[in-house]
Structure 1
Amino acid sequence: MVHQLSLVSSIPHSKYLQTISSLQAITGISTPTEISTYSLITQPNLIFKPKFEPGKINQIEQYFMKCTTTWIDDEGRNLDISKPILNDSKDIIVQKLFSSDNTTNTNDNERVWTLQISDIPIAGKNQQCSQQTIFESTLVHTHIGVDSEIKNKEEVVKQETNDNKSDVMEIDEDEINKQYQNLNSTEAKIRQDSFLIYLSDLGYEVINQYWIKGKKFFIMDDIIIEIYKIFVRDDSYTGDEIKLKLLDESNTFQIKSYINIKNSTDIEQINNGIKKLINLQNLIKSLFLLEVPDRMFMDSRIKSNI
């Protein structure tokens, strides 16, 4: 768990080289760290819908979970974001992570995933920066693609199970288990090694995905500044692979400046962190304006009306 203090901004593409050069001069870092990540947004399979009653307070909260790993294919390594990405420029084609291609290449399929759930930032009219508690867990997963045939078999079992639930009051659990055991041992192994199956077993389903490419600077020991563009899947593309497009087609760069505090009750460290962010805000105000993000846009709680 970390308590994150943050400020955000954005710049047009035309100011990117100037911004990078200025940050290199301020930080003394000639080669900033590359950011190249792939993220899944997931939600619980079963959404809790409380029955609202007078005088009863709902204390149960559910959250979207973000799962992030490194974007390591050729596009992730070689994409140059210093050049504007236009509609008539070369297509950005990425590999499908969850496929059965190259399943024997363990090095390509072994991924470090960061699973993250974040609370809504602290409220208050006089907040000088966003303050948000973030819970993270990291795991190493060796992914093996799931064949469409196996997916279809699993869908059939799920559908039959749902049909049974609608027809009778009690479910024969032994019969359902037998249906799953009909998959041969190889298929079972593939199912167990799929990250999507892991998420399903954890009780989550994928609802969205995005890719980030950018650069990261470290300043004043513990302040991190990230400058990046966000890419999403282009659903109009009909090929076997995935074509990406910019989330913001104006080529705008997003900027996030933040400090991670280990303990949300360490008031002294939080106050020092806020002062450092304010000092940074004043130092680079002629370059770009760092602002407090709208806390409601950072609310990852799942509403009961979904």
Structure 2
Amino acid sequence: ETEDEYKDLGIQGGEFRFDDKLYEMNFLIAFSTLPSPTCAVYQLQGGIDKYFRKFPNGGCWVGKNYTFDKRFAHAPPGLEEAQQDGEGKGKMVTSENLKKKLIPLSKCEACGKAWDKYRGKRRCPTCGVPSLICKECFEADKNGIKKLGKEIRCELCVKERITKKYQLKERMEREMSEYEIRKFGSTGNKKKQHTHITEGRIKGGTDTSDSLPSPNPDNVTRLFVSNLCIKSTTEETIVSTLLGATHVQWISDRKTGKFRGCAFVEMDTPGSASVAAGQSGSIMVAGRLLRAKLSPPGSKDVWPSPGATVL
């Protein structure tokens, strides 16, 4: 069925077929007429290199092709001739479309300027992917002017606020739990495990990933978290313990103004809130079993409130 419907576009068996009848517009038509985003993903027979030979100016391709075997990125040959490795020795580019394609899509992770060359063999300290660091920042690090510390992470880790390697594993477990509750529902008894957490890292005990997420039919994203240590609880405690937390409002005693050991916490998704509530009573922080339950704000409440801290 797919072959009959898209054979004129050069699509066969879920792959792009390169022949003389395949033109650049075919890609645009194919991607705009397919029923869902998943169906718009294809494997290119012959790879990106063959596509570049077919369309020297890039066609529908934007950016560069990164080859992991040699840690090298290359653009379509027409753009490579115009750019000449960014040294300004290439041909004069007059087309506005080509000028846009010559602008790097990526940026230096240290200073933020446009940069797309991988040099120095540096990797993101959290996820381990190659880091794009510009020449000036590397020289500043080498000369001791500005060090490339662990806070210099890849764009995705910064966006998702990943600061420790263990957070990646816990995020995968959380996403799997969210997937399971969407697919199978949250039935059965929750398994309670006791885990000791020190400085945000799970140590000892058993894994809490077996805890089933709490039912959340109303898609609540706010939690009421209690039994927190009055002396040692900080914003970092919330971030490292409740993955996906975005805001926290500490609850203080009305008379004394002292922290009561509880707080309202806003999560990034209803799934994150369900997972956190499902682990209530199974995570030990600073010698205390953390309690968390779904707590939707009232109809007249402003949430997140002005007094909430952004994490």
Question: Aligning the two structures, in what range does the TM-score lie when normalised by the shorter sequence?
Answer: under 0.3
Q: Which has the higher contact order (CA 8 A, sep 6+)?
A: 1
Higher radius of gyration, 1 or 2: 2
